[in-house]
């Protein structure tokens, strides 16, 4: 099968390149940045041309507007990238009876004060433009009638690009003291674990008759404070005094979800997977980065 990956230059796109090396399928990695086959996913004609010329039967959409704060003032481009573009990809796959695997987010939740893990059929209650446009993207994909797997994920990090782990590795190594919010809870997700799930679904054709929305993150629960403590400990950055603080101490144009832990029963039962614990995956990522200094 010929598979098209969008947003190949991002965190998940880079991890998909690693996973693809072990696949019998043919992957074409696209982006709008240098180093990849160029594809503008805001143009349905460009997508149709790419699909036709390469006999694409599956698209993995890793592309999105992901700057949560900037989304509030960026204008129509956020809706275009997070909702219209996925709809374009869905239409193109629908026309060839293909499959769309789309990545969504825990930010489709947040307005309601949940205190139990979020399930796939729970009503979306986004608190900002980013979450709202990602929810619109899901809805538009489903409306096309395309065969689809929508994977909601959360707190994504990897060896690639900018992310929370890299930021905290730097800050805890260079700052004498650091304040990190403790009143927002979720679960970190190593992008390689998500990429491996996608590869597992495709390689074993597990998508057949299992179309729909799924939740995936690593196992466990933590706050951003807990996450930072583990990053610093594993890196051996013991000279930074890390203190918990309230979200209100860091004003933001967006109210982020206070509790966006996923219930992953559906993805585990449907695809027969075991999901790694978040600290184990953090250790694996940091080892791959050469940043792991202390193993508990």
What CATH number is attached to the domain comprising 28? Answer: 3.40.50.720
Q: How many CB atoms lie within 10 A of CB 221?
A: 14
Confidence of residue 295 (pLDDT cuts 50, 70, 90): low
Say whether pLDDT at 139 is over 90. Answer: yes
Query: Which pLDDT score, from 0 to 100, does residue 111 have?
Result: 84
Number of domains the chain contains: 1
Phi/psi at 207 (nearest 5 deg)? -70, -25
Query: Which pLDDT score, from 0 to 100, does residue 255 have?
Result: 86
Residue 289 lies in a domain: no
Residue found under tokens 């503008």: 40
Query: Which pLDDT score, from 0 to 100, does residue 70 have?
Result: 97
Residue 67 lies in a domain: yes
Residue 291 lies in a domain: no
Q: Which domain holds residue 215?
A: 2-158+187-219+261-276
- Catalytic residue at 130? yes
Residue 12 lies in a domain: yes
Say whether pLDDT at 47 is over 80. Answer: yes
Q: Whole-angstrom Cα distance, residue 206 to residue 214?
A: 13
Say whether pLDDT at 296 is over 80. Answer: no
Residue 166 lies in a domain: no
Mean of per-residue pLDDT scores for the chain: 96
Query: Which pLDDT score, from 0 to 100, does residue 114 have?
Result: 73
Does pTM surpass 0.85? yes
Residue 209 lies in a domain: yes
Residue 215 lies in a domain: yes
Query: Which pLDDT score, from 0 to 100, does residue 8 have?
Result: 98
Q: Whole-angstrom Cα distance, residue 60 to residue 27?
A: 10
Catalytic position from the list 27, 36, 130, 259: 130
Say whether pLDDT at 279 is over 80. Answer: yes
Q: What mean pLDDT is predicted for residues 116-133?
A: 95
Query: Which pLDDT score, from 0 to 100, does residue 294 have?
Result: 54
Query: Which residue would you say has higher pLDDT here, 250 or 157?
Result: 157
pLDDT in tens, 10-40: 999 999 999 999 999 999 999 999 999 999 9
pLDDT in tens, 154-194: 999 999 999 999 999 999 999 999 999 999 999 999 999 99
Answer yes or no: are the C-beta atoms of 21 and 203 closer than 8 Å.
Answer: no
Torsion of CA 74, 78, 80, 86, to 10 degrees: 170
Residue found under tokens 């000279």: 239
């Amino acid at each position: 099968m010929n598979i098209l990956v969008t947003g190949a230059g991002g965190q998940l796109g880079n991890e998909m390149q690693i996973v693809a090396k072990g696949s019998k399928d043919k992957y074409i990695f696209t982006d709008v940045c240098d180093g990849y086959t160029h594809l503008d996913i805001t143009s349905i004609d460009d997508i149709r041309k790419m699909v036709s010329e390469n006999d694409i039967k599956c698209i993995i959409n890793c592309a999105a507007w992901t700057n949560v704060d900037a989304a509030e003032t960026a204008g129509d481009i956020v809706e275009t990238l997070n909702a219209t573009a996925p709809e374009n990809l869905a239409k193109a796959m629908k026309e060839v009876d293909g499959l769309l695997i789309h990545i969504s987010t825990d930010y489709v939740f947040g307005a309601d004060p949940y205190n139990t893990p979020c399930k796939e059929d729970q009503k979306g209650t986004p608190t900002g433009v980013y979450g709202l446009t990602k929810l619109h993207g899901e809805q538009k994909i489903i409306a096309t009638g395309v065969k689809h797997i929508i994977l909601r994920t959360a707190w994504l990090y990897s060896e690639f690009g900018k992310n929370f782990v890299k930021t905290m590795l730097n800050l805890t190594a260079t700052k004498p003291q650091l304040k990190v919010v403790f009143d927002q809870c979720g679960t970190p997700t190593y992008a390689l674990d998500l990429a491996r799930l996608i590869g597992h679904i495709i390689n074993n054709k597990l998508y057949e008759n299992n179309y729909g929305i799924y939740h995936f993150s690593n196992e466990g629960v933590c706050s951003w404070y807990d996450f930072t403590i583990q990053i610093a400990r594993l890196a051996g950055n013991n000279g930074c005094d890390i203190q918990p603080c309230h979200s209100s101490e860091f004003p933001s144009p967006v109210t982020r979800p206070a509790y966006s832990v996923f219930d992953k029963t559906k993805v585990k039962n449907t695809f027969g997977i075991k999901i790694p614990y978040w600290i184990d995956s953090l250790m694996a990522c940091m080892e791959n980065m050469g940043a792991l200094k202390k193993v508990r």
